[in-house]
Structure 1
């Protein structure tokens, strides 16, 4: 029995020796054995306060221009359609799609569609001959610093409906733009 007790005491002694020898760390919080190391800190240097920045001019809103498209015809027409082209770098017509700000006093049906990509589609149609000349007036929102000129406007994709409803000659009407 004595040998069993001796064995257990001896085994317990080995376990305790391993526990202490395994590096419990001694709890000195010094993992490299060196102690604190001094670190240089930069000395603050005075610098001059920069002057206030120069004010930057903020461009104001651009001007609103009135664009008139005068349409004349050399033949009797029940309707016409054309695409007015314009440079988007200089602005755009007020409103978008069918809410674009354009009016006409022509009788019949007037449709308008600003595609906001430099193309404004305009058309007038009636069940009988239209009375020419017809003026379509639109409002253009000009970008600040830009000037919309008559030469900036074009007319493409013309189509016409002849008197009585047949296909008309697109060259039978002309569109002349003005800017004010």
Structure 2
């Protein structure tokens, strides 16, 4: 378990292998009606709160962004899949997590900049590193690249694990984004909606 603290807000996150040979994954179809999101989130929720997540506790917006109902309604979940892994995050502030394979084709930044009508992302030797930050922010707001690309001021191309501020142009809100350690062959990032950088814990 590792942590970086700036305030007393907490984000928990973890990665789970999506392997049919993994015992927990094999139980998925029986315990959670085949829902990858429910299976992965239930593991993190149990570790953080001790509550057994049920299907009735999990809702989904039209964008696909998950949310909790009932006793877990004070928490915000986020989830992402890539390269045989599932990334999940949990907090009492709105968050987004993204996981991407290093094999994602380069050149996507030109398409993003075209959609944005400006240079949102500078050319980088590690384009996937910037992509996960962008996707983490989009998942935080429950939007889409095509609908919300012009709402983001800029995406930092740094590859360290420091929190970086992002301004959400429609409201002027400040979001924070940073890289997190990811499974081999992947990049991952967290985004959070908070007035200052947040305290995060890896399980």
Specify if TM > 0.5: no
TM-score normalised by length of structure 2: 0.26
TM-score normalised by length of structure 1: 0.28
**Between Structure 1 and Structure 2, which shows a larger proportion of helix residues?**
2
**Between Structure 1 and Structure 2, which shows a larger proportion of strand residues?**
1
